[in-house]
Amino acid sequence: MKMHATTILCVKRDGQTAMAGDGQVSAGQTILKGNAVKVRKLFNGKILGGFAGATADAFTLLEKLEEKLQAYGGNLTRAAVELAKDWRTDKMLRRLEAMLIAADKEKIFLLTGNGDVIEPEEGVIAIGSGGNYALASARALVRHTKLSAAEICKESLRVAAEICVYTNESVTLETLE
């Protein structure tokens, strides 16, 4: 049975970084859970982390990211690069099926098992089944409104939930000011 992920969106705007994720966990055509929390604050509330993919794999990766943040004094860039290296080369980690978004007040990174550490150009990035819908909505709202990063995240997740059957409106939102 194919597991479908989620929708995670991160927006940085006007000194605020916001990350939101929906709560739906699906297997095939069945909703297993509607209120999962897939966005968290890490490193004493200074870093945001969100995941899409296999839940146990994503939790493992968030734990590894937290370890790297501790090892590098909260330096998100260094921690992200080191996690991506380990994820790509470690025999156990490279089998993990998930994607992460990690952000602090200055930077946002998409991390993948291919060794990618991607910083979006426009301060907006999304992952998961409804990620492209949320991303398109967020980009339009960034360009054509004065909404805050948090407001853009909420509205864009609502749009994604209207389109993507694997995304719901039970949203977890975290911000860094």
Helix (H) or strand (E) holding 127: strand 124-128
Residues 140 and 130: beta-carbon distance below 8 Å: no
In the chain, how many domains are there? 1
166 located within any domain: yes
- For residue 48, being part of any structural domain is answered with yes
> pLDDT class for 4, splitting at 50, 70, 90?
low
Quick: pLDDT tens for 101-128: 999 999 999 998 888 999 998 999 999 9
Beta bridge partners of 49: 40, 102
| Residue 177 belongs to a domain | no
Question: Can you give the pLDDT at residue 98?
Answer: 82
Cα separation, 39 vs 31, in Å, equals: 19
Question: The domain containing residue 111 runs over which residues?
Answer: 3-171
Residue 132 lies in a domain: yes
Would you say residue 65 lies in a domain? yes
Which CATH number belongs to the domain containing residue 45 in this structure?
Answer: 3.60.20.10
pLDDT at residue 133 above 90?
Answer: yes
Q: Is residue 161 pLDDT above 70, yes or no?
A: yes
Tabulate helix, strand, coil % of the chain (nearest 5).
35, 30, 35
Q: Give the pTM.
A: 0.94
Catalytic positions, written as ranges: 6
Q: Domain for residue 176, yes or no?
A: no
